[in-house]
């Protein structure tokens, strides 16, 4: 039998483990149907609104409307209802973000006007379990929305349309004349 | 009709149904030999595939918990996902891209060609390219590889056109739309490629070769092959003489069965295969089955990899059409003037928005990241894949404390880049950027290695029993009726995508097993 070398300190860098990826992915059908109203109710309006602002600051796309960021945060409604530890992580995380904003700018996070100032607050806590959890979940829940795909020019499923063989798989010619 | 064998019938038991196991199972069945394939995953069919990255990831990936160690970045970003492979009938041939390249002659003689590389555990293969050539030809024919046997190449998509235009400007000579196991015209009862994309999610048209809908149904049709899904192999049993006698396996509810075996072939990919041998230790084999050399699990290779994404003024729509749509082969040569031994290939690659977000630069956020995602539709992508150095301490071991659902130790995968791997990756990043810059890239992004898709070397082939686990037939040095039939038998990795070589070795191994059985030496 062989034994394992003890892994080095890794407690705080569980960024997007297979488990998290799979859990996010496995929960996707429910995720897409998650209700914003339910999440607001479970997390409280202020916490939900702050999480939505944080979501935009982590993955800022000017052409993506707020509603899609709200939908990216919405799965936390069901998840936090079933998982008290997650609810605590989220509410305490938002409280910490607000505390930092108040100390630095005398305002709540959502009231800080300049994106750069808000990002500075997040940067200062980018190793915290709260930030890592939210970032790791959002990279799935934001970018897995077909409405976001459309904004970014990704056409999604193609087999049902006969693939791209007659729909432009080789339609670009600009590279030949660069 | 697919066979249904009694547990007490002494059949050839193959563990795993991917490129190695699925091919071997069909080849043996065609020769009239009774075979049971134990497959840990479920049996999905083409109708179960969806053009949707995350749902398919959760449906087909091997997600059983594994741990990682070493300095590789995968261990930081994806600590429990060292490998991105499939747990389903068909194995990773369900999600592979289809690139089918022969290893080069000198790559079978890595130790002789490269000399002693400090810190590397290099060894020559006990076989040559010349010996394998007839089997490579049979594998290419079986798989319908484009650019071989008079099969036309696929048309290049936009992503390929960017790669080719850049390669030409840089002065590369050897680039084309690849040698792909994807039908460019109807062949072997399967349709031609519709340029759907989503090769990694299971091919919806069946144009891409996968054992799931080629080898396995063909084998089943003989009445000699039974594939048992939801059958996780737990332990290989042996008798007092040291011959293996059967395989203990369990379904997902935990019900255990013992399938008797005349021969056992392990083809569970380079993490599960050594894990099974190590978990099969006994008083006779205290360090694990077939492990008198101590090499089971060692020399884990994953290919030097990385990706370059180029962002352009005009649209590319890289997701349209085949995922791996073309290749530049000029850097695959052996040329130490570049500062490293071994070579690498540059192959187009595309991911959809969900996977691009997750893998482009894991952990990054803010405007720098989102501005790259904003340019998704004008992004071209390439994957860099080259030979990495076998190192004894890069290895699969049994976890000291963590157990799986069946109470068996889970595997830990330790990996750290060799200096040669780092030098090669840096060179490949630079050349990849040069290709995209040559056609006017506004920005290029260097993407670190994804979780390993090419897992190799952990039961390696060697001429001498002390240097490795199996001989040139994939037969273990220690146990005559125990074989290894997957990429874990690779002595070294070469620069090429490994599937064609795995299939080639399986065809050859089937001949050897059949001959030995008829001569009663097995």
Model confidence over B129-139: pLDDT tens digits? 999 999 999 99
Give a three-class secondary structure readout of chain A. CCCCCCCCCCHHHCCCCHHHHHHHHHCHHHHHCCCHHHHHHHHCHHHHHHHHHHHHHHCCCCCCCHHHHHHHHCHHHHHHHHCHHHHHHHHHHHHHHHHHHHHHHCCCHHHCCCHHHHHHHHHHCCCCHHHHHHHHHHHHHCCCCHHHHHHHCCCCCCHHHCCCCCCCCCCCCHHHHC
Rounded to an integer, what distance in angstroms lies between the CA atom of residue B268 and that of residue B275? 9
Task: Kindly determine whether residue A1 and residue B287, on different chains, have CB atoms separated by under 8 Å.
Answer: yes
Task: Kindly determine whether residue A152 and residue B374, on different chains, have CB atoms separated by under 8 Å.
Answer: yes
pLDDT at residue A1 greater than cutoff 90: no
Size of interface A-B (CB pairs under 8 A): 205
| Mean of the per-residue pLDDT values of chain A | 86
What's the burial of B14, exposed, middle or buried (CB within 10 Å: 0-12/13-18/19+)?
buried
Token couple for B169: 């400007």
- In B351-488, the DSSP E strands lie at 379-386, 395-403, 409-414, 443-447, 482-484
pLDDT at residue A25 greater than cutoff 50: no
Q: How much of chain B, in percent, has pLDDT values that exceed 90?
A: 99
pLDDT at B29: 98
Among B266, B250, B268, residue whose Cα is nearest residue B258: B250
Residues β-bridged to residue B395: B414
Rounded to an integer, what distance in angstroms lies between the CA atom of residue B182 and that of residue B190? 10
Residue-wise DSSP of B146-180: TTSTTPPPPPP-HHHHHHHHHHHHHT---EES--B
pLDDT at residue B120 greater than cutoff 80: yes
Task: Kindly determine whether residue B358 and residue A135, on different chains, have CB atoms separated by under 8 Å.
Answer: no
B256-267 pLDDT, tens digit each: 999 999 999 999
Q: Does A120 reach chain B within 8 Å, measured CB to CB?
A: no
B208-222 pLDDT, tens digit each: 999 999 999 999 999
The helices-and-strands tally (H runs, E runs) of chain B is 12, 16
Give the three-class secondary structure for B227. Answer: strand
CA distance B157 to chain A (A): 4
Rounded to an integer, what distance in angstroms lies between the CA atom of residue B284 and that of residue B277? 13
Token couple for A29: 């059908």
Instruction: Quickly state the pLDDT bin for A18 (edges 50, 70, 90).
Output: very low
What's the mean pLDDT in B478-491? 98
Rounded to an integer, what distance in angstroms lies between the CA atom of residue A34 and that of residue A146? 15
pLDDT at A33: 63
Instruction: Quickly state the pLDDT bin for A16 (edges 50, 70, 90).
Output: very low
Q: How much of chain B, in percent, has pLDDT values that exceed 70?
A: 100
Which secondary structure element, helix H or strand E, spans residue B310, and what is its range? strand B304-311
Crossing angle of helices A45-58/A115-124, nearest 10°? Answer: 90
What's the mean pLDDT in A93-122? 98
Cβ–Cβ < 8 Å for B41, B229: yes
Which secondary structure element, helix H or strand E, spans residue B256, and what is its range? strand B256-266
Which site among A31, A143, A168 would you substitute to test the B interface, given the most B Cβ atoms closer than 10 Å to its Cβ? A143
Task: Kindly determine whether residue A143 and residue B358, on different chains, have CB atoms separated by under 8 Å.
Answer: yes
Closest chain A residue to the Cα of B67, Cα to Cα:
A7
What's the mean pLDDT in B131-157? 98
Model ipTM value: 0.94
Widest pairwise Cα distance in chain B: 70
Torsion angles phi and psi, residue B209, rounded to 5: -65, 130
Which site among B366, B398, B400, B415 would you substitute to test the A interface, given the most A Cβ atoms closer than 10 Å to its Cβ? B366
Instruction: Quickly state the pLDDT bin for A32 (edges 50, 70, 90).
Output: low
Cβ–Cβ < 8 Å for B300, B396: yes
CB atoms within 10 A of CB B448: 18
pLDDT at A2: 33
pLDDT at A31: 52
Among B472, B148, B319, residue whose Cα is nearest residue A164: B319
Rounded to an integer, what distance in angstroms lies between the CA atom of residue B11 and that of residue A130? 54
CA distance A88 to chain B (A): 23
Task: Kindly determine whether residue A17 and residue B50, on different chains, have CB atoms separated by under 8 Å.
Answer: no
Rounded to an integer, what distance in angstroms lies between the CA atom of residue B233 and that of residue B258? 10
Angle at B456 between CA B454 and CA B459, to 5 degrees: 160
Instruction: Quickly state the pLDDT bin for A154 (edges 50, 70, 90).
Output: very high
Instruction: Quickly state the pLDDT bin for B1 (edges 50, 70, 90).
Output: confident
pLDDT at A17: 46
Token couple for B9: 């019938």
Token couple for B464: 């001498």
Q: Does A177 reach chain B within 8 Å, measured CB to CB?
A: no
pLDDT at B3: 87
Instruction: Quickly state the pLDDT bin for A178 (edges 50, 70, 90).
Output: confident
> Between residues A119 and A4, which one has the greater pLDDT?
A119
CB atoms within 10 A of CB A89: 17
Among B216, B262, B233, B212, residue whose Cα is nearest residue B95: B212
pLDDT at A21: 55
What's the burial of B303, exposed, middle or buried (CB within 10 Å: 0-12/13-18/19+)?
buried
pLDDT at residue A26 greater than cutoff 90: no
What's the mean pLDDT in A77-103? 97
Which site among A10, A174, A176 would you substitute to test the B interface, given the most B Cβ atoms closer than 10 Å to its Cβ? A174
Point out the least confidently predicted range of A2-11, A157-166, B323-332, B410-419: A2-11
B271-319 pLDDT, tens digit each: 999 999 999 999 999 999 999 999 999 999 999 999 999 999 999 999 9
Q: Does A150 reach chain B within 8 Å, measured CB to CB?
A: no
CB atoms within 10 A of CB A122: 20
Instruction: Quickly state the pLDDT bin for A20 (edges 50, 70, 90).
Output: low
């Amino acid at each position: 039998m062989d034994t394992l070398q003890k892994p080095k300190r890794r407690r705080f860098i569980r960024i997007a483990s297979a488990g998290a990826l799979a859990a996010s992915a496995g929960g996707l059908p429910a995720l897409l149907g998650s209700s914003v109203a339910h999440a607001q109710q479970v997390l409280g309006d202020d916490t939900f609104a702050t999480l939505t602002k944080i979501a935009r600051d982590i993955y800022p796309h000017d052409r993506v409307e707020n509603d899609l960021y709200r939908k990216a945060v919405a799965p936390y409604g069901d998840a936090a209802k079933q998982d008290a530890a997650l609810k605590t992580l989220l509410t305490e995380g938002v409280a910490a973000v607000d505390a930092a904003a108040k100390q630095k700018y005398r305002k709540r996070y959502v009231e800080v006007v300049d994106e750069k100032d808000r990002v500075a607050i997040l940067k200062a806590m980018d190793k915290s379990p709260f930030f890592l959890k939210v970032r790791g979940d959002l990279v799935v829940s934001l970018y897995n929305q077909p409405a976001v795909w459309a904004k970014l020019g990704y056409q999604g499923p193609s087999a049902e349309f006969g693939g791209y063989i007659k729909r432009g798989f080789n339609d670009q010619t600009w590279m030949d004349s660069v | 009709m697919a066979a249904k064998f009694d547990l007490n019938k002494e059949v050839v038991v193959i563990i795993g149904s991917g490129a190695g196991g699925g091919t071997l199972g069909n080849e043996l069945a065609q020769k009239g030999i009774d075979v049971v394939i134990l497959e840990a995953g479920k049996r999905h069919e083409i109708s179960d595939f969806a053009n949707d990255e995350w749902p398919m990831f959760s449906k087909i990936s091997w997600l059983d918990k594994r741990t990682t160690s070493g300095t590789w970045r995968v261990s930081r970003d994806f600590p429990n996902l060292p490998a991105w492979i499939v747990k389903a009938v068909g194995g990773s041939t369900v999600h592979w891209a289809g690139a089918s390249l022969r290893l080069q002659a000198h790559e079978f003689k890595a130790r002789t060609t490269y000399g002693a590389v400090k810190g590397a555990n290099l060894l020559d293969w006990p076989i040559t390219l010349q010996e394998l050539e007839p089997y490579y030809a049979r594998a290419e024919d079986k798989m319908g590889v484009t650019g071989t046997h008079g099969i036309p190449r696929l048309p290049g998509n936009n992503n390929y056109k960017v790669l080719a235009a850049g390669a030409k400007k840089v002065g590369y000579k050897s680039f084309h739309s690849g040698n792909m196991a994807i039908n460019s015209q109807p062949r072997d009862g399967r349709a031609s490629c519709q340029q759907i994309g989503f090769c990694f999610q299971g091919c919806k048209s069946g144009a891409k070769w996968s054992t799931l809908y080629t080898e396995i149904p063909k084998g089943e049709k003989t009445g000699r092959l039974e594939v048992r899904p939801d059958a996780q192999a737990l332990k290989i049993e042996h008798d007092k003489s040291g011959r293996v006698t059967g395989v203990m396996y369990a379904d997902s509810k935990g019900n255990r069965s013992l399938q008797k075996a005349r021969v056992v072939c392990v083809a569970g990919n380079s993490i599960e295969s050594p894990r099974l041998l190590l978990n099969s230790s006994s008083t006779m084999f205290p360090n694990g089955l077939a492990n008198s050399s101590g090499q089971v699990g060692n020399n884990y290779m994953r290919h030097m990899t990385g990706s370059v994404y180029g962002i352009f003024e005009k649209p590319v729509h890289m997701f349209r059409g085949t995922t791996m749509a073309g290749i530049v082969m000029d850097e695959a040569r052996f040329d130490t003037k570049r500062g490293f031994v071994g070579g690498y290939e540059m192959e187009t690659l595309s991911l959809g928005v969900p996977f691009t977000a997750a893998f482009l630069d894991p952990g990054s956020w803010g405007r720098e990241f989102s501005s790259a995602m904003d340019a998704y539709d004008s992004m071209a992508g390439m994957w860099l894949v080259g030979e990495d150095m076998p190192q004894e301490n890069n290895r699969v071991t049994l976890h000291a404390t963590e157990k799986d659902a069946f109470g068996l130790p889970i595997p830990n995968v330790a990996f750290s880049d060799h200096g040669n791997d780092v030098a090669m990756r840096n060179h490949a990043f630079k050349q990849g950027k040069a290709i995209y810059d040559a056609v006017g890239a506004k920005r290029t992004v260097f993407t670190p290695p994804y979780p390993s898709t090419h897992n190799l070397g952990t039961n390696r082939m060697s001429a001498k029993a002390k240097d490795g686990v199996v001989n040139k037939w994939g037969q273990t040095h220690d146990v005559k009726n125990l074989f290894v039939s997957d990429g874990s038998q690779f002595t070294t990795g070469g620069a090429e995508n490994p599937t064609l070589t795995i299939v080639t070795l399986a065809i050859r191994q089937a001949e050897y097993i059949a001959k030995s059985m008829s001569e009663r030496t097995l």
